[in-house]
Structure 1
Amino acid sequence: MNERQMRDWMKENLGRLKTLRDEIRVDIHLAGMEAKDKWKELEPVVRDAEKLAEEVTDVSQRAMEELVEKFRGFRESVRHHRPGGQA
């Protein structure tokens, strides 16, 4: 992957992360206090991801992949544990 492709990939994944963040915010309104506390720890990571998106390295690419997966996992756990079950 050349630098331009990696930069585009990083921006695309940053967009995914922001979408997940927004979906999680909605789910948090319906979730319990434990999920809300966990979210307070996790949400600031988006700012870190914005910095990662500026970097074009293999390390930043792996870090972005891990963040997206972490957010997906958290979103799923919130959706499965909120009152009423899944979205």
Structure 2
Amino acid sequence: MASSYGAKEEDGHHSGSAGLGGTAIRTRKPDNTAFKQQRLPAWQPILTAGTVLPAFFVIGLIFIPIGIGLYVTSNNIKEFE
């Protein structure tokens, strides 16, 4: 099957009125669009040491204050007996 993203009626599927008396025939077949047929182009990230290591470093810097805050909060909890 050709992968042309702009093809509306590649397989002959028409969504207009047809048949006797001009009544519209409703089929359960989805429209032949790139979105409904899940043929959209995808983004593929390039994972190198130059991109992954700084990302891990930044994520670590974000979570260190969160961890310190949780640790301090948990140490300040008083238990009743």
Give TM-score, length-normalised by structure 1. Answer: 0.28
Q: Which has the larger radius of gyration?
A: 2
Bigger helix share: 1
Asked which structure has the greater RCO (Cα within 8 Å, sep 6+), the reply is 1
